[in-house]
Amino acid sequence: MIKQQFNKRLRHELQRKWKSLRSVTDWTIALYIIIPALIFCGIYYRSLWVNELSMEETVYFLLGLFAFYFVTFSRGARSFFEQADSLFLISYPVHMQKLMKYGLLYTFIRIAITNVIVVFIMLPILIKNMGAPFIQIVLFWIFFTVFRFTLSLLMRFINVRVGKRWVLWIVKKLLFSFGLIFLGSGMYFIYKSPIYSILFIGLSVLVSLALVKKKLNYKNFFFKEIEKEKEESMRWTMGIMQVGGHAAKPSSSNKKPWMFPHSKRILGKKSDLRIVESFLKEFFRTGSSLKFYIQIIIISTISIFRAPWWITAIILVFALFAISRYARDYWNEFTEKMFLHLYCEEGKLILLRWKANRYLFLPAVFMYGTVILSQFYLIPAIIIGVIFIVLIGWIVFLP
């Protein structure tokens, strides 16, 4: 009964994730972006085995490993509890614990599979640069898997047990730093001598067993567990929908905005430009839109420094496409909110959206151009960058 219930909930969650993924990837995206990117990545990965690895490429792989740790750090161990389970909280505690054990098993298997992919990507570094034998690579994978499982248990433990936000924030920062040091130390010592794997893997296993025991004693923290479980189950969906261009609805807050506080006209007095300007101000005043815009520009700009030119080209095109896709969804919400479809023809609204897209592309393209210029002429690029930052600050905060 419990196993069937767990399978049903897991299947429902995977179906929701698949629908979210399908909602942002049609055949055009697969044909022109995903498939070429996979082909180029395969060619680059093969070149790592054929050619000698430079120190710079090794650093890039280590930075990628750090990025993976940063992204997966906040993931918690799953329990697959739901609100309706409160009816069985007292009557069937054994069944609830069994459901939680299935959730922990799912968490461990998911971590193990993702770590196989990470180790496979890191193989050129491990074999060619470090000269690690097969047994050492397996020990790396076991340690990394047990460590991440322990970390997921710790994250769920502190999210459920720690009440005050500022205390939780401090604890997470300390855990992030300690976890990074422990992971780096474990990798280093296991590389020096496989015998150290007994110490680091054994310590992680002991901490995991203690945390599992604490987690199974769920009664006093049941509703907090459900709250965190819901957040965890929706993490994938929310991330895909945000990156895929499903924008949040425009804000309707009456508070004075901190961006464009005086709402003076910037683009001109023509009615078309005023509509575009209203959209741009609304777009940047919305927290989720601003966060997405800044993140996509920063990540794509970093690729200019760190990736080969052909991978950089793919990333920059994808970044502009993602901004356009997100802006299109936000524009639809904006036009419905402002009832513009009652006063403007559909063709005119499309032209206005394209014009708004050009204004959104302008800072990104200028940023890319400045960074590329810095590769050849550093001083002029710095001067242009300072002028650009001052200009953006004046436009955003003074008008």
pLDDT tens column, 48-73: 888 887 777 777 788 888 888 988 88
> pLDDT tens across 116-139, in order?
999 999 898 888 888 888 899 999
Give which of 151, 120, 112, 149 is closest to 137, Cα–Cα: 120
Instruction: Count the Cβ atoms, other than its own, within 10 Å of residue 173.
Output: 10
Give the distance from CA 91 to its chain's centroid: 40
Q: Are the C-beta atoms of residues 263 and 285 closer than 8 Å to each other?
A: no
Q: Are the C-beta atoms of residues 273 and 319 closer than 8 Å to each other?
A: no
Least confident of 10-24, 254-268, 349-363: 254-268
DSSP letter (8 states) at residue 340: G
**Region class of 132: left (phi > 0), else alpha (psi between -120 and 50), else beta:** beta
Provide the residue type at 255 as one letter. K
Give which of 288, 67, 71, 73 is closest to 159, Cα–Cα: 73
Helices (H) and strands (E) in the chain, counts: 14, 0
Helix 55-72 and helix 165-192, axial crossing angle in degrees, nearest 10: 140
> pLDDT tens across 177-220, in order?
999 999 999 998 998 888 999 999 999 999 999 999 888 887 77
Residue 213 tokens, joined: 């025991």
Give which of 125, 148, 147 is closest to 137, Cα–Cα: 125
Tell me what pLDDT residue 344 has: 67
Q: Is it the case that residue 27 has pLDDT exceeding 60?
A: no
Give the distance from CA 110 to its chain's centroid: 17
Give the distance from CA 118 to its chain's centroid: 16
Q: Is it the case that residue 387 has pLDDT exceeding 70?
A: yes
Give which of 117, 109, 32, 39 is closest to 77, Cα–Cα: 109
Q: Are the C-beta atoms of residues 396 and 284 closer than 8 Å to each other?
A: yes
